[in-house]
């Protein structure tokens, strides 16, 4: 079994912000694969799906970013999913808008959601899909920047990024991390 988890903040006010890009990808996977996120427990909205011979849980956070680890760990523990079978979908200030990068493991890279997951799970050995949102403009704090919606001229590149991310996640499900890294990074 695998877990695909999109990070974001709960509530309508955050839906279209940069920080909710991971949750947005999960919503699009849910739509494309017809997986209803009908369960709300363990700090997440989630649903169960299968593809080929792989059963997976598709989830997006209902907790604030800094508490994401609680939700990821609770789902992983409940379904007995080891870290290497988890894919976290997350925004990344260090990648240009529209870029994506799959990683097999690594540090939090300054991201509070990833930091929370690493601390609570006591592991860095989970997969992640980082989605580029750009650096904040000069003089703007990162925490303010990530809570802003994308500007009008950014919407097409973001929509393209979401679609590419969905296809990448499906590729990961079917072929694993090394294959998706070779194909998408």
Compute the CA torsion angle 140, 118, 23, 109 (nearest 10 deg).
30
Check if 19 is active-site. Answer: yes
C-alpha–C-alpha distance, residues 168 and 102, integer Å: 9
* Euclidean distance between CA atoms 100 and 106, whole angstroms: 15
Provide the token pair at 135.
Answer: 């650096």
Classified as helix, coil or strand, 110 is coil
Which H, E and C letters describe 3-23, residue by residue?
Answer: EEEECCCCCHHHCCEHHHHHH
How many residues are listed for the chain in this entry?
185
Q: Strands, DSSP E only, in 8-167?
A: 39-41, 44-51, 54-61, 86-92, 100-103, 127-132
Which one of the listed residues 19, 39, 111, 171 is annotated catalytic?
A: 19
Residue 70 burial class via C-beta count within 10 angstroms: exposed 0-12, middle 13-18, buried 19 and up: middle
Residues marked as catalytic: 19
């Amino acid at each position: 079994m695998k877990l695909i988890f999109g990070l974001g903040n709960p509530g309508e006010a955050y839906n279209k912000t940069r920080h909710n890009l991971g949750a947005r990808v999960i919503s699009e996977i849910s739509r494309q694969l017809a997986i209803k996120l009908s369960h709300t427990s363990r700090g997440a909205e989630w649903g169960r799906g299968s593809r080929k011979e792989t059963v997976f849980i598709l989830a997006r956070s209902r907790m604030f970013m800094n508490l994401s680890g609680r939700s990821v760990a609770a789902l992983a523990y409940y379904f007995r999913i080891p870290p290497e079978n988890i894919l976290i979908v997350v925004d990344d200030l260090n990648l240009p808008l529209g870029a994506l990068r799959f990683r097999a493991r690594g540090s939090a890279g300054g991201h509070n959601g990833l930091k929370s997951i690493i601390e609570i799970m006591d592991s860095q050995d989970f997969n992640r899909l980082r989605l580029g949102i750009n650096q904040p403009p000069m003089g703007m704090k990162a925490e303010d920047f990530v809570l802003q919606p994308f500007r009008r001229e950014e919407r097409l590149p973001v929509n393209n990024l979401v679609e590419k991310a969905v296809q990448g996640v499906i590729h990961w499900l079917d072929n694993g991390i090394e294959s998706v890294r070779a194909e998408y990074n």
